[in-house]
Structure 1
């Protein structure tokens, strides 16, 4: 019986190794997933490449930590300064632009801060800083949270001065929007996630279209020099697919509520 059991255990171990050998782990930002684009692309990727892509859906800050620790083979994120530092530190071989969408400011349909009247994004945030109204922040060092911090810094304002109406939630984009709906609050979101989000409550897009709301997504393969176990050959295949003509066609044709939400710009 012991020999039979040992043989069975060896067989299971071999099968597990074979399965994981044909799989890569990719950390992706929650907005990429919440927008529905990951579910749209993944079947095409796995069918074409003949290996499994296991997604870890987290904020950009957490995705970068997973990459630094070697817990994933690559990351797909949206915070350029952090990405450039990640490459500079040697954790990734390079940074490859894939696509972009845009951020929008959501707010109550009544628009108590009157940001819809703003001529630019900085004016909109100045109005939010003095409006005595609720504002929900991702608060999780994600790409969206980093963008929000960047905008506050540009108007030389610390959002904590808003007081209890500044609600930092430490959550993914979808969960943060749900909280904003519950508090009838303003929130910075990527447009694709908002359009794909079911629970909209009384929130609407109150401001969009400023250059500062550009939201670039990039692919970073983890360096084998730092983490020897990463599956660099499979990652190379995935990267080639992401910058291919087929990827361009799929990304540019992805629609939410009859609206194009991502633009391919791989370099």
Structure 2
């Protein structure tokens, strides 16, 4: 069994629901009173959308149906009319989506930072690296395990960008791909006592389940920005354009931005996101 396949089996054995959520993306039928949201797993795994869904229904009358996948797959769902609205954190892919006319409107809603998570003893010396890109090189040269999402998600795309900054990804036996969401990949990295690139929110949400710690701070190359995108209904009769607009307005509203500002503080000890309040965060 190759490493890629082995990790898929391991993630399933850990009981992570990511694979189940991906499967629901193949069943997109919905009524007009329902809004189908394709969202990055890193937002879903924090529980934020579970908190916002009932409030959205009370405020708008729409029922929110959520499919959690990587940002790349979420954008493809929108292109195929399999989603009404998208939450993503893959800026280059989002720009291409909008440029191709698949999106009607794109708004920033929140941000946080990626980090490299690893064992507290940090055998590869990630903390001492001058940059996140240099840190990846240290991991490779040390022979330590590095767990990649390998799924074209926003997190995976950021990892690839960091490798480019590092001069190209090195090939070593410890580089493993899960093809899974962020929670599953963190659990695999924890099991292997390895490293992974993760958003801080998901790491915070799993802090009682993993021993991994954040080894990199807030640096420009690790800025992680979330946008809401309304799928363009032109030529897509299945798309609920009114429902998509209602959700995008909802998550951009002052009420929800205030909720985002404090989300996670009570449960996880610190807020998981910085609300955008209509402004792109500075690089």
Q: Same fold (TM over 0.5)?
A: yes
Contact 2:147–2:196 under 8 Å retained in 1? yes
- 1:225 matches 2:231: no
Q: 4+ residue stretches of structure 1 with deviation over 6 A? A: none
Instruction: Report the CA distance between 1:62 and its aligned residue.
Output: 0.9
Deviation for aligned residue 1:126: 2.5
Q: Determine helix, strand or coil for the equivalent of 2:179.
A: coil
Task: Give 1:208 shift.
Answer: 2.0
Task: Note the C-alpha offset of 1:129.
Answer: 2.7
Give matches, 1:251-266, under 5 Å. Answer: 251-256=260-265, 257-265=268-276, 266=278
- The whole-number CA distance in structure 2 between the counterparts of 1:74 and 1:46 is 15
Matched, 1:167 2:176: yes
Aligned to 1:15: none
2:248 to 231, 239, 253: 239
- Candidates 133, 154, 164, aligned match of 1:143: 154
Report deviation, 1:88. 0.8
Matched, 1:87 2:98: yes
Q: Does the 8 A contact of 1:104 with 1:191 survive in 2?
A: yes
Q: Provide the rounded CA distance (Å) in 1 between the counterparts of 2:38 and 2:238.
A: 16
Instruction: Give the Å deviation of 1:199.
Output: 5.7
Q: Which has the higher helix share?
A: 1
8 Å Cα contact 2:84/2:243 also seen in 1? no
The answer as to 2:55 corresponding to 1:71 is no
1:117, distance to aligned residue in structure 2 (A): 1.5
Distance 1:198 1:209, change over 3 A: closer
Q: 1:192 aligns with which of 201, 210, 218?
A: 201
Structure 1, residues 99-138: CA drift from partner, whole Å, max 9, x if none?
1111111111211111112232223223223111110000
3-state SS in 2 of match to 1:228 = coil
Aligned match of 1:23: 34
Q: What is the RMSD of the two structures over their aligned residues, measured on CA atoms?
A: 1.5
Partners of 2:57 and 2:218 lie apart in 1 by 35
Distance 1:116 1:104 in 2: 11
Which of 136, 143, 154 aligns to 1:132? It is 143
Name 1:33's counterpart in structure 2.
Answer: 44
Contact kept in structure 1, 2:84 and 2:231, CA below 8 Å = yes
Query: Aligned to 1:70, what secondary structure does the other structure show?
Result: coil
Partner deviation per Cα, 1:160-195 (whole Å, 9 max, x = no partner): x1x220011100111111110111110011111111
TM-score, normalization by structure 1: 0.88
Relative to structure 1, is the Cα distance of residues 157 and 24 closer, same or farther in structure 2, using a 3 angstrom cutoff?
same
Pair 199,183 (structure 1): closer, same or farther in 2 beyond 3 Å: farther
C-alpha contact (below 8 Å) 1:91/1:226 kept by paired residues? no
Say if 2:40 and 2:87, in contact at 8 Å, map to a contact too: yes
CA distance in 1, matches of 2:146, 2:240: 42
Q: Which runs of 5+ in 1 are unaligned?
A: 1-18
**8 Å contact kept, 2:108–2:226:** yes
Asked whether 1:155 is paired with 2:166, we answer yes
Which residues of structure 2 form unaligned runs of 5+?
Answer: 1-29
**What TM-score, normalized by structure 2, do the two folds share?**
0.84
